[in-house]
Amino acid sequence: KSQPAWATLSQSDFNRKYLEFSQEEHGYCEGRQHLRNSRYRVASSATSVFFWQTAAACEKWPASDQACEDLGHAFRSGQTLQSTNKTQSNGGPTGSSTALSTHRGSRDGKKAHGGAKKIRKKLKRK
């Protein structure tokens, strides 16, 4: 946030809303997953997502709170999901594919993530 580029992005007339994810709150699918123990990795830094839209686009495709929540769940690290879903219904360990399908399985993210730590996000509207 202290970088001039971040200020420029956030202060644009086209910026309708932005989300912030701390380094611990999101992750990525590892490109070299076949060489690692897990296909997921925690992000190496915080991330901001800016919703730049014209007035017409904002009216037609608003960055609703639900859409932002869904995006937050999509950014969540697969490692977090794997540790949250440690056991399947049969008591066995949960594999990467189960965690991934659970992660993608619910549109609102609430049922799929069970008691997982809720993503903290800061929403700013212009």
C-beta separation of 104 from 70 below 8 A: no
| pLDDT top residue among 28 and 69 | 69
Q: Quickly state the pLDDT bin for 96 (edges 50, 70, 90).
A: very low
- The pLDDT value recorded for residue 80 is 54
Q: Quickly state the pLDDT bin for 50 (edges 50, 70, 90).
A: very high
Cα–Cα dist 70/73, whole Å: 5
> Which 3-state string (H, E, C) describes 45-81?
CCEEEEEECCHHHHHHCCCCHHHHHHHHHHHCCHHHH
Task: Tell me the average pLDDT of the chain.
Answer: 68
Highest mean pLDDT among 47-51, 101-105, 115-119: 47-51
Give Cα 4 to chain centroid, integer Å.
24
Q: What is the pLDDT of residues 28-48, one digit of tens each?
A: 777 777 777 777 777 888 889
Q: How do strand 124-125 and strand 15-21 relate by DSSP bridges?
A: antiparallel
Q: Where are the domains of the chain?
A: 15-119
